[in-house]
Amino acid sequence: MTPPVFDADFRQQLATLFRWRRDVRSFRPDPVPDELIERLLEAGSGAPSVGLSQPWRYVLVDDPSRRAKVRASFAACNAAALSHQSAERAGLYARLKLEGMDQAPVHLAVCVDPAPMQGHALGRLTQPETAAHSAVLAVHTIWLAARAEGVGLGWVSILEPAAVLLALDLPASWQLVAYLCLGYPAGESEVPELERFGWEQRRASAVLRR
């Protein structure tokens, strides 16, 4: 097959996709079609992985009692995080909306098998974290593919990973990489929510030369 050549119009749209990919915390209740979710997961499975090990493990969470347990872990961790805030930032922290688990029609846990058989361990002897990093690459692929379909994704990291693994009854050897909410976004912006609420702002990245 002839390698594809991407033109300036595609690159511009890709840049727009990168710019408008948001961490979404407010969702409309409309369901997301199963076949769309399947398409996103399949796109994720084409992500780069160390040694072609494809170590990501997808878990779609529908059961209300399991979702409630994950929600409870967020509530506990977020209360602890609030108590760690300085006096001047606590009020702002308390006003932030940091997840949309109650509204999101789709909950997806992305785990990693940190020592998969597939790939025969190639490439991860000195940097074993590359297995988890491969799962992160799958998450990002799903994120971009979702946004291109008008679907928003929010990554909830204010969770106790052990509590989530327990709530989902997953193999003990797996590790939680990302707990994701997906659905059609209620409102969109080019500006990250943490920037709009005054928590933090995007900055240019320095480049060192060696």
Q: Is 172 exposed, middle or buried (0-12, 13-18, 19+ CB in 10 A)?
A: exposed
Give the residue, chosen from 30, 35, 62, 102, that forms a contact with a second copy under the rule CB under 8 A. 62
Q: Does 83 help bind a second copy (rule: CB under 8 A)? A: no
Among 32, 106, 168, 182, binds a second copy (CB under 8 A): 168
Whole-angstrom Cα distance, residue 42 to residue 45?
5
Rg (CA), the chain: 18
Q: Is 57 in the site for a second copy (CB under 8 A)?
A: yes
Determine if 58 is a binding residue for a second copy (CB under 8 A). yes
Whole-angstrom CA distances from 111 to 22, 59, 67, 152, 180 are 21, 8, 16, 20, 11
Beta carbon nearer to a second copy, 71 or 130: 130
**Is position 146 an interface residue for a second copy (rule: CB under 8 A)?**
no
Instruction: Report, in Å, the least distance between residue 122 CB and a second copy.
Output: 7
Q: Is 113 in the site for a second copy (CB under 8 A)?
A: no
DSSP of 156-188: E--S-HHHHHHHTT--TT-EEEEEEEEE-BSS-
Q: Residue 193 in contact with residue 25, Cβ under 8 Å?
A: yes
The one among 31, 33, 91, 150 contacting a second copy by CB under 8 A: 150
What is the distance in angstroms between the CA of the first residue and the CA of the last residue of the chain? Answer: 39
Q: Which of 104, 177, 180, 181 binds a second copy (CB under 8 A)?
A: 177
Residue of the chain from 42, 90, 97, 166 that contacts a second copy (CB under 8 A):
42
Q: Does 105 bind a second copy (CB under 8 A)?
A: no
Residues 4-23 that bind a second copy (CB under 8 A): 4-6, 10-11, 13-21, 23
25 binds a second copy (CB under 8 A): no
- ∠ CA 161-165-170, rounded to 5°: 150
